[in-house]
Amino acid sequence: MAPQDIQAFLKQYFDVLQNQDLALFDRIFHPDCMLYSQQDGITTRRSFSEYRLMVAGRQSPQAAGHPRAEQVVMVDRLSDTMALAKVRLRLFDNIMVDYLNLMKVEGEWRIFAKLFYREGKAA
């Protein structure tokens, strides 16, 4: 099980993906964060600002009535200020798997890089 501080951070991560609270979004993702994916032979690369605009411009899964399902699969703490988390969650009608590179800055965990993959459709 992940240390409590990382568990609490990941709960906020799940919350922000479901309710799209942009104030919380700005506390979870570091402004230098980059997001990457490869799906169906296509590589996707998004900056923090691109991802934030995308999130701000869509209806949240919570508002659309999509159920939540989330799991912390693994946390590897590299040091007191760096960690890697693997999570699985339902986002809209998709099951997503994310690898989150975390660093603690000014006493708070932040996401500095995210690899994401659509594993399939939610049942």
pLDDT digits (tens, 9 = 90+) for 54-75: 999 999 999 999 999 999 999 9
What CATH number does residue 99 fall under? 3.10.450.50
pLDDT of amino acid 2: 62
Cβ distance 102 to 85 under 8 Å? Answer: yes
Domain of residue 45, residue span: 4-121
pLDDT digits (tens, 9 = 90+) for 4-35: 999 999 999 999 999 999 999 999 999 999 99
Q: State the pTM of this model.
A: 0.93
Cβ distance 41 to 56 under 8 Å? Answer: no
Distance CA 37, CA 41 (A): 10
Stretch (H or E) spanning 87 = strand 82-91
- Mention every residue, 6+ apart, whose C-beta is less than 8 A from residue 74: 84, 85, 86
How many domains, in total, are found in the chain? 1
Separation of CA 112 from chain center: 10
